[in-house]
Every structure is written in C-alpha cells, then in structure tokens.
C-alpha cells in the first residue's frame, strides 16, 4: 500500500508515527503504553491484564462499558486492547467519515477510566475465562513454559488464574496512575490522516508524569535439559526449538533471517516443510524470529506424531546443517524472495495491516524502517547472508521444549537430535 511515514512529537509531548495513505477509506490507530506485566510483582501479575479489560469501559463520558461500546460501534467501528509482558495496547479501526468521532472516544476512554467495582467484578471473571481458554492452546502453553525456564518475564496461564485472587481494584488504579502518562505512550495512526486527527491527538491529557519506561534487561539462561510438559491426553508431540544470537541483529541480518525462515517452513515447497510433507512426516511447521532487549532469537516449532518424530528431527538436522554450510541454490533463494515480496504486499493491503508492519518495532525501540524499502532489502539478501545469520543465531544459548505423552527416553533422544541440529 503506497504511503508516507513520519515520526511526530506533538505539542502535548505525545510521540508516534503517522502513516499517510491518501484516499484510504479507513483509519486505524493504536496507542501503546509500556505498562506490561514485567513491572509487577509476581503475585500481582494479572493487574495489567485486568486493567486493560477495564480501560475500554465506563469513563468520564459513559456510565457503563456497554454504553461506551454501543456508541463506539454504532457505525461499524472495531476496538480492541491487549496486554503483553512489556506493553498494553489500545486500538480502533473505523470508516474515515467517522474518524474524528471514534478517535475522540478512544482518547476519552484512556484519559478518564472510572474502574467501576461492578465492572471490575465482571471483567475479573472474563479474564479468568480467557486464561482458562488459552490453557487449551498447547503451543502457547509450551511457549510460556520455555520463556519461564529461560528466565524471561512469563507466568503459565494456569498459575495466572490462581494469582488473580491477589489483584484488587486499588492495584488496577495504581498501575494505571504509574504507567499512563504522555511520555510513556506511543501511537501509530494509518490512513488518510487529516489535520483534525492530529489536533485530537494533541489534545490528549493524562494525569501520570512517568517518563518512558525502559524495557527490562533479560538474558536467556543456560538450559542443559529439555523443558518437558507431560500431558497424557495429548497423543502428538508438540515442540519448540529456540536459539538466541548473542546480540541484537542489524537490519540486514533480520532480513536474512526472514529469508531463512521462508526457505525452511513458509511454503509447501520449502526446504524443510516441503521435504517433510513429501515424506508424510508432518502436516505443518512454523519458524520465525523475535527481538528482545539485547538479544535476537530464531524459533522452529511443530506438532508431530511419535512414530514420525525421530525422522522429522533427522531431516531437520540435515536441512539445517546444509543451509548453515551454504547449501542454498540460486533458484531456491530467488523463489523465497519472490514469495516474500508477494506475501508482504498482501499483508499490507489494509491500513491496519500496514500499521502492524511498523508498530511492534517502533514500540520496542522508537525506531522504524520505511516499509517501502522492503522489496529492495529482500532482493539484496545473499545466500552467504542467510548462512551467516543461521550460524550466528545457533551460536548462543538455546532451549528445547516438548509437550505431550512423552517418556523420559523419548525426551532425551529428541534433545540429542536438537543438539545435532544446532551444532
């Protein structure tokens, strides 16, 4: 989607990105506050999540959450909020013709939440239901267990349900006051952005005075054994392999790692998933990267039957070792690039999709790369770049997680296979 991008620091001190898409029929806006769970004691872990559920509710202009949502949604607008270990985000998407009205509503909700006791009680129950539902997601359960074992800020969903009882309404109010300030906020707005939209953003006033809160310093622990979650009722084996480069990757390396992921698992003709499917070993696989403060990681995951697990891991070892030694043909590299360029175009064809291309990196680092450069950046990646970045991400700490009806013998055998994949 053709657009321009510019960072703004508004008159009120609010800082963010304006993605201008001329004549776009939709406006999408997101506010992010560094207000996640890492700021809380473990026994108060769920405070940020409960607060997030209450924020788009009763406020200075609306007596109840239902009244607020009815007004916001009356012309088809969409709203949502989310909490992570690091940030709390609020977003709306609406037709351009009502953008001023909807942006004003969102700002009002963030400026003047009431935190009614009755809504606290209701959302307390809703958060509990959400967490219980999430616990049925085996990949999520395994991912949280790996993060916890590695020493990152993380708590398993089942424990979070138990910890909720420690959260009071006063805790929620205090967390809001300590985190919701203009200096601790960032925004991204995408669409045919008008001066009136910017004027509304400049009018935003928040009671807190907290400066931008820094991300925590997290260092992955050394794990010499697999993280195994025994689930007798799960017949297949769910697994993740996480490997950490000993430093943050630069942009060229990030692009090369994206190409590596595409070569490995992104298509049904990819080097790993394509070969595994051809042999009937696995239905689907995924891989990708993540940046945290000071570290970059590469992950690979799938679910596989017990009878195919060893064969899949042997194939993974062969493919990884081949790529780490430069075994990427010009045809394979070109095919991956062409796929990535087309996928990128599809994923950025809406203003909300475009916003998502910028928001995560910007909220983490206060930096951004113009997405108009994507095609040229990917085209410039070489086979050597891919080889080098795979070797780099396999040179630091790593972790292996398993979930299912797994014996100690199988766990140890597959752990040894992962050693051969990475080294």
- pTM confidence score: 0.95
Q: For residue range 138-188, what is the model confidence (pLDDT) as tens digits?
A: 999 999 999 999 999 999 999 999 999 999 999 999 999 999 999 999 999
* Residue 107 included in any domain: yes
Helix (H) or strand (E) run with residue 308 in it: helix 306-324
Distance (Å, whole) CA 36 – CA 13: 22
Percent of the chain whose predicted confidence (pLDDT) is above 90: 95
CATH at 345:
3.30.830.10
Residue-level pLDDT at 10: 97
Q: For residue range 88-125, what is the model confidence (pLDDT) as tens digits?
A: 999 999 999 999 999 999 999 999 999 999 999 999 99
* Residue 71 included in any domain: yes
Residues 83 and 189 in one domain: yes
Determine contact, residues 58/179, Cβ cutoff 8 Å. no
* Residue 154 included in any domain: yes
Q: For residue range 352-385, what is the model confidence (pLDDT) as tens digits?
A: 999 999 999 999 999 999 999 999 999 999 999 9
pLDDT at 266 over 90: yes
Residue 117 tokens, joined: 């006791």
**Domain of 293?**
227-422
Helix (H) or strand (E) run with residue 214 in it: none
* Residue 252 included in any domain: yes
DSSP string, 309-377: HHHHHHHHHHHHHHHHTT---HHHHHHHHHHHHHHHHHHTSSHHHHHHHHHHHHHHHS----GGGHHHH
* Residue 222 included in any domain: no
Report how many domains make up the chain: 2
Residues 196 and 234 in one domain: no
* Residue 221 included in any domain: no
Q: For residue range 195-244, what is the model confidence (pLDDT) as tens digits?
A: 999 999 999 999 888 999 999 999 999 999 999 999 999 999 999 999 99
pLDDT at 400 over 90: yes
Work out the average pLDDT over 269-297: 95
Residue-level pLDDT at 293: 86
CA-atom Rg of the chain in angstroms:
23
Residues 391 and 269 in one domain: yes
Residues 232 and 170 in one domain: no
Residue 398 tokens, joined: 């790593």
């Amino acid at each position: 989607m053709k657009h321009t991008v510019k960072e703004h620091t508004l008159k009120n001190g609010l800082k963010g990105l304006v993605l201008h898409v001329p004549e776009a029929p939709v406006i999408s806006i997101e506010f992010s506050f560094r207000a996640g769970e890492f700021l809380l004691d473990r026994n108060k872990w769920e405070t940020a999540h409960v607060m997030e559920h209450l924020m788009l509710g009763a406020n200075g202009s609306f007596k109840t959450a239902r009244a607020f949502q009815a007004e916001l949604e009356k012309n088809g607008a969409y709203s949502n909020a989310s909490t992570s270990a690091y940030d709390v985000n609020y977003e709306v998407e609406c037709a351009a013709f009502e953008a001023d009205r909807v942006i004003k509503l969102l700002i009002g909700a963030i400026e003047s939440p009431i935190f009614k006791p009755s809504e606290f009680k209701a959302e307390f129950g809703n958060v509990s239901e959400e967490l219980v539902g999430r616990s049925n997601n085996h990949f999520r359960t395994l991912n949280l267990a790996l993060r916890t074992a590695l020493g990152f800020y993380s708590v398993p969903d089942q424990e979070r349900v138990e910890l909720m009882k420690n959260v009071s309404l006063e805790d929620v109010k205090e967390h809001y006051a300590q985190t919701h300030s203009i200096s601790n906020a960032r925004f991204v707005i995408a669409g045919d952005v008008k001066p009136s939209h910017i004027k509304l953003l400049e009018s935003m006033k928040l009671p807190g005075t907290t400066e931008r809160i820094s991300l925590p310093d997290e260092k992955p622990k050394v794990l010499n054994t697999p993280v195994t979650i025994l689930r007798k009722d799960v017949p297949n084996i769910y697994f993740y392999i996480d490997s950490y480069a000993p430093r943050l990757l630069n942009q060229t390396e990030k692009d090369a790692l994206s190409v590596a992921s595409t070569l490995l698992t992104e298509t049904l003709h990819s080097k790993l998933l394509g070969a595994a499917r051809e042999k009937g070993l696995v239905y689907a696989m995924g891989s990708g990267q993540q940046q945290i403060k000071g570290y970059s990681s590469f992950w690979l995951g799938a679910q596989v039957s017990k009878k195919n697990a060893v064969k899949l891991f042997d194939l993974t070892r062969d493919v990884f070792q081949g790529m780490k030694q430069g075994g990427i043909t010009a045809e394979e590299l070109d095919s991956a690039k062409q796929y990535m360029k087309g996928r990128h175009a599809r994923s950025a064809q809406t203003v909300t999709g475009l916003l998502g291309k910028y928001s995560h990196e910007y909220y983490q680092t206060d930096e951004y790369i113009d997405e108009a450069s994507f095609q040229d950046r990917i085209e410039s990646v070489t086979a050597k770049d891919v080889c080098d970045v795979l070797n780099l991400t396999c040179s630091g700490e790593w972790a292996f997680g398993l979930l299912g009806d797994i014996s100690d013998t199988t766990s140890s055998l597959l752990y040894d296979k992962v050693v051969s994949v990475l080294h």
